Amino acid sequence: MTTKGQKDNLFSLVKSLTKSEKRQFKLYVGRLGVNSDSKFLNLFNLLDKAKVYNERSILKNNVVKKQQLANVKAHLYKQILISLKLNPSHQNIRSQIREQLDFASILYHKGLYKQSLKILGKAKELAFANEEKNMAFEIVELEKVIEAQYITRSINTRADELIQEAETLSNLNIIASQLSNLSLQLYSIILKTGYVKNETEALKIKTFFENRMPMFTIKDLGFREKLWLYRTYLWYSFLMQDFLNCYKYAKKWVDIFYENKNMISLNPVFFLKGNNYLLETLFFIGDKNKFTKKLTVFENTVNKASFIKNENVATLVFLYSNFHNVNKHFIDGSFNEGLELIPRIEDDLKVYDDKIDAHHKMIFYYKFASLHFGAGNNKACIFYLNKIISNRTLSMREDLLCFSRVLNLVAHYEAGIDYHLDTLLRSTYKFLIKMNDLHEVQKEMIKFIRGLQDIYPQDLKNAFKDLHKRLKVYEDHPFERRAFLYLDIISWLESKIENKPVGQVIRDKYLTKNAN
């Protein structure tokens, strides 16, 4: 018997097929000359109609015998993938080059060396033109094997050319591999721990980064190598909270795509991610004018009929468009306008439910909670925060988990729900200590909320002023300022001191900043 995971894999694959892909699969099966009562086709039809995977139902329908089920499922899975490979919507430059390489290999094994070399020459041109240097290296290696057997008058010159090509490609592939490894390592660190917390961590990351950065000359790098280079510097800048350099490298990342427009359709995921980080850094910097312009350019590009459309790309477009349309309202404090986005996004989240991981869903919930907090809807804020806090199996960034709990404390206080504030304080404090993520800003917040019960109402404003004074010094601190990216505590305190809604305080700051 197959495992539950494997069962789910086949069922998920069948359910992911579009109408045209199902039609193509049935045509493909028909071309194989398989009759209509073949076991794997009958199993496909049954799974296609089923709402959930149920092995008993399959066996009850006599589609296949119990001892045959594992093999039939494996065969069906393979046939669906072959059918998808043949579907025009899944054809791209890479598949074309790979196909030509396969053809050349067949011709070589048949001893048709000249024909094989001709196909390899065209495939190599295509690979170079589209920055597919790993495949170009494979092609050159096969050319070397063939040239060693297919003797021509130009063999000496040809050999030198191939050796030079192989060395150049090998060096660039090594640089790209080292950069992609470093980028992935930095990304892994930021997912686990968020930004650097102190000088010790900053020095550790700086040393880690510099020791692993490969040697290169920028003019020798092509599109692919530069893409990995900018991506690597971006993650390093994020970790160090250097948002101006984040913007610099995210912009370089996006610009290189607009300079090589054919790469957008070949690498749509990298194009989308680059735009996501560009918008995120502009959000952190608080430049709404640039943010709005870049968001408009991004949405115009992805909404073009020529922009590649598949499930993965559609999911990322949904995520990034909605994240940043929400973020737009945090920059200028237009929280009530932002609330209008929530019902539509929640409906769309149901559509993309099996495509979006729990981490990204929780980011949406945190954004919804923050919008409601900014609009003064504290109970609604608590509702969304509980979705994050109550999820015990959640694997997501520590900093987001931490600030969900801090915001939860503030929202409970604001909502007047203080009958179990002591318990909430203790659990939050324990959680933060356990995560080794207790910063000065959080310490001051917890100390303040803990002492609120002992403050007379007439002394509250002075207490808010005192906390504001203590926190203000951290607003531009290199390692403490990250707290204000998730929760604008300074503006909340100013709203309490000035008796204004927090949204109005943020809006006033935004207008003053832009007026200057």
With 0.85 as the threshold, say if the pTM is over it.
no
Please report which helix (H) or strand (E) contains residue 236, including its range. Answer: helix 223-239
Say yes or no to pLDDT of 153 above 60.
Answer: no
Tally the domains of the chain.
Answer: 2
**HEC profile of 273-289:** HHHHHHHHHHHHHCCHH
Q: What is the pLDDT of residue 504?
A: 85
469 domain-assigned = no
Q: Which of 38, 65, 90 is the last residue of a domain?
A: 90
Q: What is the mean pLDDT of residues 432-450?
A: 73
Q: What is the pLDDT of residue 303?
A: 92
Q: What is the pLDDT of residue 258?
A: 94
Say yes or no to pLDDT of 437 above 60.
Answer: no
Q: What is the pLDDT of residue 379?
A: 93
Q: What is the pLDDT of residue 454?
A: 75
Q: Which of 194, 220, 240 is the last residue of a domain?
A: 240
335 domain-assigned = no
Structural domain for 79, as ranges: 4-90
Q: What is the dihedral of CA 476, 482, 486, 489, to 10 degrees?
A: -40
Q: What is the mean pLDDT of residues 131-154?
A: 82
Do 232 and 156 belong to one domain? yes
DSSP labels for 31-63?
A: HTT--TT-HHHHHHHHHHH-SS--HHHHHHTTS
Q: How many CB atoms lie within 10 A of CB 23?
A: 11
Q: What is the pLDDT of residue 438?
A: 64
Q: Which two tokens stand for residue 280?
A: 């995120």
Instruction: For residues 290 and 250, give the distance between their C-alpha atoms in angstroms, rounded to a whole number.
Output: 13
Give the lowest-confidence range in 6-10, 50-54, 103-107. 6-10
**HEC profile of 165-194:** HHHHHHHHHHHHHHHHHHHHHHHHHHHHHC
314 domain-assigned = no
Say yes or no to pLDDT of 19 above 80.
Answer: yes
Q: What is the pLDDT of residue 399?
A: 66
Do 156 and 234 belong to one domain? yes
Higher pLDDT, 238 or 91: 238
The segment with the largest mean pLDDT, out of 8-12, 269-273, 351-355, 455-459, is: 269-273
Instruction: For residues 498 and 492, give the distance between their C-alpha atoms in angstroms, rounded to a whole number.
Output: 10
Q: What is the pLDDT of residue 1?
A: 41
Q: Which two tokens stand for residue 443?
A: 């310490």
513 domain-assigned = no
Q: Which two tokens stand for residue 505?
A: 């305080």
Kindly indicate the confidence band of residue 422, based on its pLDDT and cuts at 50, 70 and 90: confident
Q: What is the pLDDT of residue 247?
A: 96
* 306-333 pLDDT tens trace: 888 788 899 999 999 999 999 999 888 8
For residue 445, give the DSSP letter.
H
For residue 304, give the DSSP letter.
S
For residues 169 and 136, the answer to whether their CB atoms sit within 8 Å is: yes
129 domain-assigned = no
* 460-512 pLDDT tens trace: 778 888 888 888 888 777 777 766 776 788 888 888 888 888 888 888 888 88
Q: What is the pLDDT of residue 31?
A: 75
Q: What is each CA distance from 365 to 15, 79, 186, 383, 408, in whole angstroms?
A: 27, 40, 26, 9, 13
Say yes or no to pLDDT of 421 above 80.
Answer: no
391 domain-assigned = no
Q: What is the pLDDT of residue 5?
A: 41
Q: What is the mean pLDDT of residues 218-228?
A: 93
CA 157 to chain centre: 47
Which residues fall within 8 angstroms of residue 263, CB to CB, at 6 or more apart? 130, 131, 223, 256, 257, 271
Query: What proportion of the chain, given as a percentage, has pLDDT over 90?
Result: 35
* 242-281 pLDDT tens trace: 889 999 999 999 999 999 998 998 889 999 999 999 999 9
320 domain-assigned = no
Q: What rounded mean pLDDT belongs to the chain?
A: 85
Query: What proportion of the chain, given as a percentage, has pLDDT over 70?
Result: 91
276 residue type, one letter = N
Q: What is the pLDDT of residue 4?
A: 45
Q: Which of 206, 222, 240 is the last residue of a domain?
A: 240
Do 157 and 85 belong to one domain? no
For residue 225, give the DSSP letter.
H
- 85 backbone φψ class: left, alpha, beta (φ>0; ψ -120 to 50): alpha
173 domain-assigned = yes
